[in-house]
Structure 1
Amino acid sequence: MQFWSIGCDGKMTEATPPTISYGCNTITFKDQFDCGRTTEYSVDSSKTSPSSATKACEPELTLARMRLKSGQGCLVQQDLETVFKECGDNVSWISDRRSPVVRYLTLHVNTVDTGTGADRDRSPEPRAFIFGQKECVERLFEAVEGIKRLRERIPDIEALRNTEKRVVMSPEDLRQLHSVIPNMSNHTTELAIKSIIQPFIRVIIPTENKHKITIIKEYFAKLVAEKTEVTYDRIPVRSGVGEQPYNAAGALGALNRIQNAVASIKASGETMNTFVVAIENYIQVKGIDRPTDFGIIVAYNVTDDTYAVKVSDGVTIDKDFVEAAQMYGYESNNENFGSVTVGGVLASRFPSIDKANWHEVVAGVPRYRLLTEAIESLSLP
């Protein structure tokens, strides 16, 4: 196990058993560079990730830090906070071991022995401590260094504003969707929208995202005849492709939402005149010059068992932000099923950014405008 201490100056010092002792409720640190000054810290509170882990679980990594007010502490301590804010309850990236555990301790100074030092009146400086397996500490430091490098290059939101552009998906990438979505009717290009004249239809919306719900409802309001009765049912289901889909996982996520919602309604036996519409945003990183966030819209006619698809224009994003999100790992060991969203990383480092609509800051175009424009040219299957 490795031991590290972090001072207010941001310097990380590797500690050894003679200089540090770590008990159940206390940490004692002897500063060899300050004439033997010894500080004992008591543990105020403890939290474990994942939340399902018990206190009895032996952690691969322990992060202990002073309780600081907003803006206090060195950048390294703040960056450590950022890392665990971004990854949340998902700490699997920290170790190759199955189901690793990370423990967070909040400290306060209990006693101070100034030793033989002349500066006896100096108050103890806030510190953070890291205890853990070597591989875990190295990965944590790699994440912190990544934050530091990005901050030096893009120090604030103004350095990020309007640095990206709006792009159109290539026809070749569009054709690849056929391998993911079965029975796909030819509605991936600009086509005239046909009206719905049935006396009633049922629309299933497999999400709780209020913006996507509004987009889908407005779409059908323009399609249906005045006398057509429309019933909307929200059936939130999982996409099964992680929080941040990449590449073909975007189409797969939309398809999974549709199939999961259909399985739910078929259990009730009512599928006549039923449509399911799913919207999934994803980052394309393969076969493209710059990572780009696209939105795929998939409409499914349950009665006819046919699909129609439209992909919105995309917004490019700096690959370093994508790699920062990818550092936190993937679900189901699939590199296209990201555990942490790129939007979550951006919002963590630039708090005024909406994690679901970072497109407006970096390219000047709201994500939901792109989705609305796309769905307006989609013909129902």
Structure 2
Amino acid sequence: MPVALRDVTIREGAQMPGRTYAVEDRVAAGRALDRLGVDAVQAGFPAVGETDRAAIRRLAADDDVAADVVGIARARVADVEAALDAEADVIEVFVPTSDRQLEHVLGESREMALSMTGEALDRAREGGARVHLTLVDGFRTDPEHLSTTFEAFPSVPTVTVADTVGARTPDRVRALVADLRDRGVDGDRLGVHFHDDLGVATANTLAAAAAGATTADVSVASLGERAGNAALERVVVADAVDGPGGDESVVAVDRSDLVPVCETVLDALGESVDPRTPILGEAVTTHESGIHTAAMLRDPGTFEPFDPADFGGERRLVFGPGSGRGSARALLDRAGIDPTDERIDRLLGVLAERGPMDAAAAAALVETAFRDV
């Protein structure tokens, strides 16, 4: 069954220290994400302030935005009222479920937490919104308590179990999701939310999908609190290359526009990524090593896990001081020039002097330098 992706970039990103995303920035990012085909865009936390409310209101009123526009709310009626004022399509109520967070965050018993959650969900429905529920610190909660919570709110279509502090690894994730399924939790209702504190949020998301979860929260470039969330682009590409569905993709988005959409979102929010960031970093699809470029001129897949073009990206073969004899030989071969040792040495000297340059420029250089050969 396809896994629906719910994007949390805007809301999670805004919670990073020092970040303030303006309404226009959030709207531009939300519209770009919608083009990708995500199931929902979590545009803010309405109780925080007018910026969050205005962004949600603008996106929810946009007829061109097909994704559900989500506002989050604590299990408090006042928070729900703020989300209703923002006219969110969906109000996602969140409540702690682990013993630790019930005591130190909510300061209430488990029974009271369930009661507060019920009141908040009822108020959201009365206000005309659809509802989701997120169980905070769910992956550090006894599975029996999680199952009881699912049973307590049978009409909530999606209940997300959150690894709020990024404390779990794939084996534990797979085991908990399987346990919940064995306890009778309907996979169609089961969502997951991972943080990347241990660097395995993408792997956790795929493990949860393989075990039967059908909704997953993701964030462009892993933007989010602390180490961030499961990166949207990594989940999509990893699923396509070697995901739980085998030859069948399980993530339901338009992969062909993935990289441009992510770049648009980052630009809109004023964010950037390190060049070595998986999928989105410029260095990830740039190759200069002689062994690599020589082979990739013949077959790019020799040193790539995926074709960047499949996701709207672009590879760069770079020729310059780092190029080796194999690269020079391949460039000469492609130009129909006999790659003698003398010509290879000459080309390497020119590349070292004038490079680095991309493959097109290198090919043009060969044509120019060896025109009369």
Provide the TM-score with structure 1 as the length reference.
0.19
**Structure ranking higher on relative contact order (CA contacts 8 Å, 6+ apart):** 1
Greater fraction of residues in strand: 1
* Larger of the two Rg values belongs to structure: 1
Higher helix proportion, which one? Answer: 2
